[in-house]
Structure 1
Amino acid sequence: MNGELIAFFVLALITVSGAVLMINLKKVVHIIVALSFTFLSIAGLYVLLSAEFIAFVQVLIYSGAVSIVMLFGIMLTKHDDKSTVTVGFKRGLLSFAGVAAFFIIVFIGINDLSFGQQATSLHEFNTRQVGIEIFSKYVIPFETVGVILLVALIGAIVLAKNEDEDEKEAKGNE
């Protein structure tokens, strides 16, 4: 066993554990923390695949932005988090058994898999290659995504402004 294989198994264990915890936990903040661990470990798997750009985007967008937006959404909304629900031992054991069975099936399926001759130069300068592709071949879709995000941001501001006006109007009528 080499270090890359050990790192893969550790990151895979963290990924699967975070996913199982997301399913089994009841407090929303704990679920988001488990989700963040899952996102970070997936970024580690991307690094093992020599996809540093995708790993950076994974950390920046998913682990950072999405998790923070979820936390802010929870903090800014009204919810009753006083109820305590205990996760049963049977449910956790059943989840672990399902994950173990899936791991065994996948391991048996890919154990003797052979892909033949592997390309050795694909991972060299991959961030530069992604940048060249985005800004030459895919510049129109890239700009379109920017415009769609701008429209979504303006729509969110308009919706938030309308809700504030509705609340003021409702208070004024009372």
Structure 2
Amino acid sequence: MVNSVLPTPGSVRHSLAIVCTAAVAADGLLALADGAAAAATGLALITAVALALGRYAAGGAAQDSGHRKPVRLLDSRAPALGEWQRMVVKTLADDGEAHLDIVMRPQLQRLFAARLAERHGVAMYRNPQQARALIGAELWPWIDPGATAPQPTLPEPVLRSLLDRLEAL
């Protein structure tokens, strides 16, 4: 039995085959309905869209100076520092246990993941061993995405050390 030449469903080749078939069918319907002029216009439009999508997919680094790769390593958008002062105050407060787990720790994890992806090309969530080596064994438990925080509250010296290490990376 000869192996099938058809692409595997769900693959890029399969998707491209379906899109190309739909484009040819649409252009054929234009030719049947409105004639050669409409078919030529449709073909020009399909070609322009295909070239734009191909350039976007293949030349992403040329278009945005490689900014998509770090975001792809993060698996989310790049983090921001909005309301940072309020987050720190609430985390260092006496009742900051829940705030550490819900707000501060995830924000620190995202900041470290962004810095590691941007400066070192390391995906913190996919390669935690390499991230731990870069961050340091003493600070890693505070931002380890695979474990809980070592203490229910974040001591101020630890926060200072984490931020210093973040800047040093």
> Normalising to structure 2: TM-score of the pair?
0.29
> Normalising to structure 1: TM-score of the pair?
0.28
Higher relative contact order (CA 8 A, sep 6+): 1
Structure exhibiting the larger radius of gyration computed from Cα positions: 2
